[in-house]
Amino acid sequence: MPDDFNLKSFLADLPHLPGVYRHIDAQGEVLYVGKARDLKKRVNSYFQKTPDSPRIAHMVARVARLEVTVTRSEAEALLLESNLIKRLKPRYNIIFRDDKSYPYLMLSAHMAPRIAYYRGSTSGKGRFFGPYPNAWAVRETIQILQRVFRLRTCEDSVYANRSRPCLLYQIGRCSAPCVNLIGEDDYQADVERAVRFLDGHAKEVMQEIDARMRQASDMLDFEKAAILRDQMGSLAKVLQQQSMEQVGNDDVDVIALASAGGRVCVNLAMIRGGRHLGDKPFFPTHTNDDSPGDVLAAFVSQHYAESGMPAVLVCSHPLPDPDLIALVAERTGVKARVIVKPQGVRKTWLEQALKNAGMALARLLTESSARAARTQALATVLELDTDEAALDALHVECFDISHTSGEATQASCVVYRHHDMQPSLYRRYNIAGIIPGDDYAAMRQVLTRRFSRVADGLAEMPDIVLIDGGKGQVEVARQVFVELGLDTRSIVGVSKGEGRKVGLETLVFVDGRESVALGIESAALMLVAQIRDEAHRFAITGMRAQRAKARNVSRLEEIEGVGARRRQKLLARFGGFSGVVDASVDDLRSVDGISADLAERIYHALR
């Protein structure tokens, strides 16, 4: 303990109140974050008895000081704990990767509602269905709603400016409310039937469609009867394709845990309105000696602290804290029923989720073993530490420059860590103020911008800085590092071989080491090539997007009579350049300030 921290006094002064506590080591790193109903009792327990597990005992031995935050309730402490774990990633907490928000299916609040894929807050206007485990599940559901109920999916700007039905109407995927080929009441009725289908009442919807079809036939309205017949056939096909039998209309999450090879997989299967939407595997870290119940509890507290919890949770193992669900319910407004020994179809769901968890874990272990072997091969070639922890933390950044004849120059930086690429850490840099096509100046600019932050202590220094280029590019990198006072041994250039053939690349250094030709069979070369190719791909996609944006705007600028104000109105009305291209002459004329003559010029100039 540091001299200025008195543990005994600190523990004595703790209040009997709910809150969050943090164990911190001598270097200021947060080792563990926990919540407590009673801070005094919970924090004192760490220092008054032998910890239950070796991992916690090891953690307590490293504690130099503690910090606490009092909250108004234990539920509020749960949310704060979850947020701190995601942000700080303490090494002794069970951590589930903070993935992107789950996707939803949105039904807009328009007079003719639109169905759309959606991510974000669900507190806005419209109705939201989900969450779904992945984007594919949302898009599959949208296709079902298009086939069965023929609801629109077009953007509002397109919908408001249609003068004739689009292709989706022609192929039977939309009823064309944009041009009044379906009445407002009839379209709303289809929307309500779609909502009931999403809520799990598909059989009732089927019966209703069947009754309406017979009624239309009796009234000799055979065209309407044929539409309803096709609708019923599409819905029947959807129901036959459902692999999971329905049990009521409750929303259910099935949470199954499998462990092997020192790793754990928590598989989440989502059932919404009786429909099985798919599975999503999670691979938590820091689970060394935790029980399955502890891992599931960590998943529930972190996963549902900020997102909606369904009415039923089917779990493969009991949760150790009986109050956890009640605490989460205070945050979500839904108190779930937890089932550990399900019967009937729910038992089948759990068995399938366990099977999927085992398969996902087997894939991870196979892939992880191969990736770790490549990381070790590269570390060996570069004479770096090959300890397991050092290999897992090995941090590689690769830089590449991309442009088209000097136009839209961009630099990319991709990151490799934990034996895998880390897309969330990728960065693009727009390069300006250089002679077009001067790759050396572009590399100097990006490296200076990136590593000035390292020199100022604002960013972490990678173990390896890969430069996609030969001696010239590497020399630029050396100069930048010397100017910034950084260690040049981390710089590694990837020089292409004769004829730029894969397998003939050479690693180039700046610290006196001889260049190394790895050979086509080298696992280290496979990894270097993967990282380099990813940097090249990332740079090219960014450059092309920037170039396309600049060229599209310039195409409008080149049209006589289209100034900045009219260009802005056109882009706003049609939702971007592609919308302007697709607009008819009549659509263009409807924009304020666009005459009939100018509309004709714009229409033909963009063809």
CATH 3.40.50.20 correct for 7-88: no
Q: Which CATH class is domain 558-605?
A: mainly alpha
Asked if residues 354 and 267 have their Cβ atoms less than 8 Å apart, the reply is: yes
Q: What DSSP string describes 447-512?
A: HHHHHHHHHTTSSPPPSEEEESS-HHHHHHHHHHHHHHT--GGGEEEEE--GGG-TT--EEE-SSS
pLDDT for position 246: 47
User: Above 50 in pLDDT, residue 440?
Assistant: yes
SS (H, E, C) 537-565: HHHHHHHHHHHHHHHHHHHHHCCCCCCHH
CB 289 within 8 A of CB 303: no
The CATH number that domain 252-363 falls under is 3.30.420.340
Which residues lie below 8 Å from residue 182, measured CB to CB, with a gap of 6+? 175, 176, 190
Distance CA 303, CA 353 (A): 17
pLDDT of residue 142 exceeding 80: yes
341 C-beta neighbours (distance < 10 Å), count: 10
Residue ranges of the chain that CATH labels 3.30.420.340: 252-363, 390-546
The whole-number average pLDDT for the span 468-496 is 89
User: How far is Cα of residue 477 from the mean position of the Cα atoms in its chain?
Assistant: 33
Tell me the pLDDT tens digit for each residue of 569-602. 877 777 667 777 777 877 788 888 888 888 888 8
Mean pLDDT in residue range 22-36? 89
Taking a C-beta distance cutoff of 8 angstroms, is the pair 153, 116 a contact?
yes
The pLDDT value recorded for residue 26 is 85
Tallying the residues shown for the chain, one arrives at 607
**Quick one: CATH architecture of 390-546?**
2-Layer Sandwich (3.30)
Q: What average pLDDT does range 481-489 have in this prediction?
A: 92
- Compute the distance between CA of residue 266 and CA of residue 268 in angstroms, rounded to an integer: 7
Tell me the pTM.
0.59
Which is more confident, 289 or 431? 431
Among 18, 33, 38, 31, residue whose Cα is nearest residue 84: 33
And the tokens for 561?
């009579």
Most confident of 112-126, 338-352, 552-566: 338-352
Mean pLDDT of the chain: 81
- Residue 144 clears pLDDT 70, i.e. is over it: yes
Full DSSP string of 75-142: HHHHHHHHHHHHHH--TTS-B---PPPPPEEEE--SSS-BEEEE-S-S-SSSEEE---SSHHHHHHHH
Residue 35 three-state SS: strand
